[in-house]
Amino acid sequence: MKRKLVPPLLAAWLLLACQAVIVAPSREPQASHFPGAEYRRLETGDGVVFWLDPRASAVHIHVYRGGPLAARGHNHVIVATDFVGAAFIPAWNLAQARFDLEIPVDRLEVDPPALRARLGGGFASAVDAEARAGTRANMLRAAVLDAGRHPYIAVRSRELAGEIPKLALNVTVSMRGVSRAQWVPVDVRIDGDRLLVRGTLVLDQRDFGIRPFSALGGLLRVQELVVVEFRLVGWSRQQR
């Protein structure tokens, strides 16, 4: 039987080639900081607010096996099944656009069988329910995502460059008390009251203070880099 390789990071979304900002650990759980009131205010101005729809969207985080004994482990795909998010597209000055996404860590799903089957290739091998539960428990523990004290992963825009449909977003990704910034190329499409944003970003577990799982002196380990693919769908509630 193959030995299961447990990945110690998510990473969804969404979104660091700059210096890290380390936030002092707190004994109190992190509260949600999604600026919903600010987006509701923006709905009354010049521009359009799109509210993200988790059911129509997809955020997939790919975690890879590594080391000389990698064949004894599994690659993993982690899915953000629920989140809150919004984007504001101004009527005149695109530089004033903004984007916020907040993912509850405890809503992350590990290795959905149907998704693994669709991915195929290095993800085609079956992962049983017990192994999926063990991987998820490891991911949420204090040494990894620390879901008890840091229950949210947040992605927030800082600035953007380019023009629709091809943009580069500078975003801050906040996870486990650490924030890092990165430029992310995205494809943005607006069709009436529907927004579609697609892109890919790469996260390094070490940037967030996470030491990738390693066993047998590194012969079996998790790779440091994870790949996040996202397809975000949002809808406007405004009358235009």
Burial class (CB in 10 A: 0-12, 13-18, 19+), 4: middle
pLDDT level of residue 240 (50, 70, 90 thresholds): low
Domains in the chain: boundaries: 33-236
Calculate the average pLDDT of the chain: 86
Reference 238, options 3, 13, 50, 26; nearest CA is 50
pLDDT at 16 over 70: no
Which pLDDT does position 144 carry in this prediction?
85
pLDDT at 190 over 80: yes
pLDDT at 158 over 60: yes
> In this predicted model, what pLDDT tens digit does every residue of 17-29 receive, in sequence order?
222 333 333 444 5
pLDDT at 175 over 80: yes
Identify the bridge partners of residue 214 per DSSP, sorted by sequence position. Answer: 221
* Residue 96 contacts residue 90 (beta carbons within 8 Å): yes
Which pLDDT does position 221 carry in this prediction?
80
> In this predicted model, what pLDDT tens digit does every residue of 131-154 receive, in sequence order?
999 999 989 988 889 899 999 999
User: What's the DSSP call for residue 36?
Assistant: H
CB atoms within 10 A of CB 188: 22
- Domain 33-236, CATH number (from 1.10.443.10, 3.40.50.1370, 3.40.50.12280, 2.40.128.110): 2.40.128.110
**Cα(13)–Cα(32) distance, rounded to whole angstroms?**
17
pLDDT at 211 over 80: no
**Cα(128)–Cα(26) distance, rounded to whole angstroms?**
36
Which pLDDT does position 5 carry in this prediction?
41
pLDDT level of residue 71 (50, 70, 90 thresholds): confident
Average pLDDT over residues 41-57: 97
Reference 231, options 191, 201, 193, 192; nearest CA is 201
**Cα(105)–Cα(164) distance, rounded to whole angstroms?**
31
Amino acid occupying residue 128: D
